[in-house]
Amino acid sequence: MLSLTGCTERLKKDIIKLIIDEVVIEGESVKIFATIPLPNKIHEREMYKTDILGIFNAGATLGPVQPMRYIKLSHGLNETNMTRIWNKHKQFHPVRNNRFSNRADAPLKRKVFVCLSGGVDSSVVASILVASKKYDVTAAYMLNYDNKQKGAESCWLPDYRDALRVAAHLGIPLMKLNFTKEYQEQVLDYMYQEYEVGRTPNPDVLCNKFIKFGSWLDKARELGFDYIATGHYAKIKKDRAGWHMMAVKDTNKDQTYFLHQLNQEQLSRTMFPISAYTKPQVRKLAEKFGLPTAEKQESMGICFVGEVPMKEFLEKKIKPKPGTIVSSKGDVLGKHDGLPFYTIGQRSIGIKLGDKPLFVVEKRTETNELVVGDESDPLLFKQVVLVTDVHWISGQAPQFPLQCEVRLRHRQELQKATVVKHNANIILTFHKPQRAVTPGQFAVVYKAGECLGGGVVA
């Protein structure tokens, strides 16, 4: 808290870059509650361009409105001039007006931007934050994909309506943010490119990295929010070494696999309020809060796209390129529609060989051959895996060799492995052979319950 009552002459004369959180005016007393570093002496600090728009000179007339200026604390502070600051700040922060108070003892509330998707998890997140009365909460619905066709409504409208109902129930503002361009360029285009060359990417990992904790976090900071909050099942821990992402007790719902590409800056500005709860407990909380989404079922489709058959989705952009289906022994068994439409370990491929089910065990892009075998085929298992594009959450690679646990897909049980460095990549040697190791997917590294990072399976 920075109080102007009785402040030093030196402080009044200094130009300080700060973020105003609240202004309280009581008669002749004027107090500014602001975020400002005060170690041994006053230091200048950059502020976000949307926190305060305009030149505010407490002892003179307000200057012209420009993208970014500073507040000058000088002689001549009075109620009239400070009221101008108060009104100017409210003018550019309409969603916060109901949070300001004329009480001198009004607590300073951090501003939190909640990702409200219309699902039960994010609805409970918003409810927990509002019920705590510790935060200034605003919700955001992210529009990332729109498949609207003539005569039909957009795929996102039902979820948006649910988000509106939840926001209205909680009495908080809801903003709709359009990131369709970013999602197309950074998630969908990459996904199509990977599938086209025969790999199987994970769009949920990319969506978290580039959209939720990329574009959306940037927008939240631009709008002056301190944190973003989402309904992910993951835990953030802070110590002297930095920020850590930990797995949660509900192993069936743990989502650290999808979040392993986050960095220190992103974690420092993120909240996961339901990290201590299991899914059944979240359902009970939704009922307790009386949420309209309490009984809503989960969506299991592509991130923000929905429950669309993958082949149907890919055929919109990738042309079929028929080829030969062969056994691992080289026998020709049939024809396939194109390698992008199949993934390692897939079972339903339309052909049989005796009574044993067949699985995709390899994709040979050079010859356009789809190789199949039974569930014990050696090609279906790997014990040594090369991983590229490696990212470490801490910002620094651990010491190698690293004895750890690895997850090759969401919800897979953690597998013991040894990690060694190989140029800019890493090599995983598993204690046991792994089934259906899929190029394009992510291998995520864990140690003592902490998600350390990961990379792309080569």
7, 115, 155, 303: the active-site residue: 303
Report pLDDT for 159: 94
Domain presence at residue 299? no
Mean pLDDT of the chain: 82
115, 207, 404, 451: the active-site residue: 207
Contact 31, 3 (CB under 8 A): yes
Residue 169 has pLDDT above 70, yes or no: yes
Q: Name the domain boundary from 75, 99, 123.
A: 99
Domain presence at residue 251? no
User: What is the phi/psi pair of residue 317, to 5°?
Assistant: -125, -25
Report pLDDT for 305: 60
Q: Above pLDDT 90, what percent of the chain?
A: 67
Clarify whether residues 86 and 127 are in a common domain: no
pLDDT tier, 351 (very low <50, low <70, confident <90, very high otherwise): confident
Using CA atoms, how far apart are residues 305 and 22, in angstroms rounded to an integer? Answer: 40
Report pLDDT for 107: 57
The number of beta carbons lying within 10 Å of the beta carbon of residue 393 is: 24
| CA dist list (Å): 364 to 201, 219, 319, 339, 444 | 17, 43, 18, 8, 26
Element (H, E) at 170: helix 157-170
Using CA atoms, how far apart are residues 343 and 363, in angstroms rounded to an integer? Answer: 8
Tokens of 197: 């060359």
Clarify whether residues 129 and 216 are in a common domain: yes
Clarify whether residues 193 and 165 are in a common domain: yes
Per-residue pLDDT tens digits for 410-426: 999 999 999 999 999 99
Which pTM was predicted? 0.75
Residue 217 has pLDDT above 50, yes or no: yes
Domain presence at residue 17? yes
Domain presence at residue 406? no
**Paired residues of 445 in beta bridges:** 406, 453
Tokens of 143: 């529009």
Q: Name the domain boundary from 37, 65, 99.
A: 99
Burial of 25 (0-12, 13-18, 19+ CB in 10 A): middle
Using CA atoms, how far apart are residues 266 and 326, in angstroms rounded to an integer? Answer: 46
Contact 377, 345 (CB under 8 A): no
Contact 50, 67 (CB under 8 A): no
Domain presence at residue 205? yes
pLDDT tier, 80 (very low <50, low <70, confident <90, very high otherwise): very low
**Paired residues of 416 in beta bridges:** 405
Contact 279, 253 (CB under 8 A): yes
Burial of 453 (0-12, 13-18, 19+ CB in 10 A): buried
Edge-to-edge strand ranges of the sheet holding 110-115: 174-178, 135-143, 110-115, 227-229, 270-271
Report pLDDT for 29: 54
Closest CA to 97 of 3, 172, 176: 172
Clarify whether residues 168 and 122 are in a common domain: yes
How far from chain centre, in Å, is Cα 241? Answer: 22
Clarify whether residues 92 and 170 are in a common domain: no
pLDDT tier, 336 (very low <50, low <70, confident <90, very high otherwise): very high
Edge-to-edge strand ranges of the sheet holding 15-16: 15-16, 71-72, 56-57
Element (H, E) at 286: helix 279-288
Tokens of 17: 């870059």
Report pLDDT for 23: 53
Mean pLDDT of 40-54: 33
Q: What's the total number of domains in the chain?
A: 3
pLDDT tier, 126 (very low <50, low <70, confident <90, very high otherwise): very high
| CA dist list (Å): 21 to 36, 51, 90, 382, 431 | 10, 9, 11, 55, 54
Clarify whether residues 226 and 346 are in a common domain: no
Contact 196, 340 (CB under 8 A): yes
Domain presence at residue 90? yes
Residue 72 has pLDDT above 90, yes or no: no
Q: Is 303 a catalytic residue?
A: yes
Residue 95 has pLDDT above 60, yes or no: no
What is Dmax (Cα atoms) for the chain?
93
Report pLDDT for 24: 52
CATH number at residue 277: 3.40.50.620
